[in-house]
A = this chain, B = another copy of it.
C-alpha cells in the first residue's frame, strides 16, 4: 500500500469500501488484496450505480469496480458511470479469476439440475456449461450471493459458479475448480473516490503516480487521433489502453478512453496541457500508481 493510504489511516479507524456483490465475491477478494494489511469495512451493493451512490452519500467511502476483463472485454457501462460520477480513480488491481462449480455439502453431480451465477461468470464458463446441458442456467445478481442463497435456503439440486473463497465462506462443496473456458481470465478493478478525498491522498504520494486514465472526444477527422498520440509520444508518455466508442447521435464524433503510463509526473502534466486544445471535453478520470496483481 502506498504512503497516501497510511496517511489516511491515521485519521480513520477503518476504510469503508463499496463493492458490487457480497462477501466472497471477486470484488471482495480484489478489495482485500488491494488493501492488504488494512482493516476494511465492506459496503455490499446490488449494482454499480449503488457503488457510486454510496460515495455520493458519504465522501469517505471508497469504491471498487471491475472495468475490464480479458474474456468479457470492457465494462462500457462502468466506464460511463465513472465518467458521469465525478469520482476519481486512485488505484487499480488485476485479479486472476478462477471459477468453481459448487453445491450443497450433501449433494453430488447426479443430484444437480440447475446452476446459478452472475451472467458474466456464466459467460466465462460457457464451455463447461455446454458439457452439462442438463443444467438449467439461471442468472443471479452475484457469484457469491448465488452460493449463499443455495446454502441458506437449502436449495436441493442447485449448483453455483463462484470463487473457491465464496464456497469456503458459505460451506459449499467444490465439485470442480478452474471451470472457466479460458485460463487467461483476468479482471482489472479500479479503486475510485470522491475528488475531495483524492486531493488529500495526492499530497502524499505524487511520486508513486505513474498511470492516468482519461476520456476525450475528437472530431472524425483524418489524423485528429494521430496528432494527439504524437504529442503524447513527444512527451514520452506510453499508451497502455485505447478504446474508441462512437457517440450515438453525434455521427462524426468519437469518444476515446485512453490509459497512459509515465515515469515523470511533470512531463505527463505538460503533455495533458499540450493535447487539451486538440481534444474536446477532455476529462481526467484519475492519476494513480500502476496496479499490483495476484498474477
Contact = CB atoms under 8 A, between A and B. Distances in A.
A242 B232 CA distance: 17
Interface stretch (A17-25, A206-214, A243-251): A243-251
Copies of this chain held together in the complex:
2
A241 B244 contact: yes
A74 interface: yes
Contacts of A237: 222
A196 B221 CA distance: 34
A76 interface: yes
Contact of A233 (B119, B186, B226): B226
B233 A184 contact: no
A248 B71 contact: no
A85 interface: no
A222 B236 contact: yes
Given A220-B238, A226-B233, A244 B244 contact: no
Interface stretch (A2-10, A57-65, A136-144, A279-287): A136-144
Nearest to A251: B295
Contacts of A240: 220, 244, 254
A149 to B, nearest CB: 12
A87 to B, nearest CB: 21
A184 B138 contact: no
A130 B237 CA distance: 43
Contacts of A137: 138-140
A277 interface: no
A240 to B, nearest CB: 8
A133 to B, nearest CB: 10
B138 A249 contact: no
B246 A70 contact: yes
Contacts of A229: 223, 225-226, 229-230
A70 B184 CA distance: 25
Rank and list the top 3 A-B pairs by shortest CB-CB distance, nearest first: A223-B233, A226-B229, A184-B248
Interface of A: 47, 70-77, 119, 122-123, 130, 136-140, 184, 186, 220-223, 225-227, 229-230, 232-233, 236-244, 246, 248-249, 254, 256
5 contacts: A47-B130, A138-B139, A223-B233, A241-B246, A242-B244
